[in-house]
Homo-oligomer: A and B are copies of this chain.
């Protein structure tokens, strides 16, 4: 029996040492509620986890791997909002009004996701004000982040946006420099709202100016200050 187990790698939420800090405010009884109908699914790199427009049936927890969150726009153009890494909750945007997904989530690497019942989650929000506050904080931080991206994409021009993407990968996604890239040029283009060709052209310029080094799948930011300056200037 493969992939039908209630949970493969863990002894339940109470013992989980890889859960989102959001859950720290829950008592062990409440964690048991979260754990009750929970199940785990593994995704291969490239597989879609849920699609924009479909019913949002569960709250999702990324426990391993890497996932891209993106908006499907017009003419099959996407807008990559963010790349999330574990531990991280996602997919909760529609659960308090129409239970729909407002973005698409796709695995960028092999990933494991816990599915938590929306009702059980909501029950904890209702019973535990600390948890509710943490959840609201999480939502608001997401909004603030989105606002920042909003301004960056509408006001910076190409070099600034590409610099932002590189800094984001090094500082937030892979948390290392150099880093091995597991995300396609197309994804990077969608992250910066550029055409793939334009993104590549700027990358080439950075390389020629020795701001970055590239060999194969590895990218190293060699002049961090220069890149930060480009990001700021726009």
Chain A contact residues, CB within 8 Å of chain B: 71, 73-75, 77, 79, 81, 92-97, 102-103, 122, 125-127, 129, 132-133, 135-137, 139-144, 146-147, 149-151, 153-156, 193, 234
Contact A136/B133 with A143-B146, A151-B71 known, Cβ cut-off 8 Å: no
Q: How many copies does the complex hold?
A: 2
> Looking at the complex, which one of B71, B126, B144 makes contact with A150 (CB distance below 8 Å)?
B71
Contact A97/B140 with A73-B155, A133-B126 known, Cβ cut-off 8 Å: yes
Do B125 and A133 touch (CB < 8 A)? yes
> Looking at the complex, which one of B71, B127, B135, B143 makes contact with A136 (CB distance below 8 Å)?
B135
A122 / chain B contacts, CB cutoff of 8 Å: 133
Cβ-closest 8 pairs across A and B? A126-B129, A96-B137, A73-B151, A154-B193, A73-B155, A132-B132, A74-B155, A96-B136
Do B137 and A97 touch (CB < 8 A)? yes
A71 / chain B contacts, CB cutoff of 8 Å: 147, 150-151
Do B126 and A77 touch (CB < 8 A)? no
Q: How far is the CA of A143 from the CA of B129 in the complex (A)?
A: 22
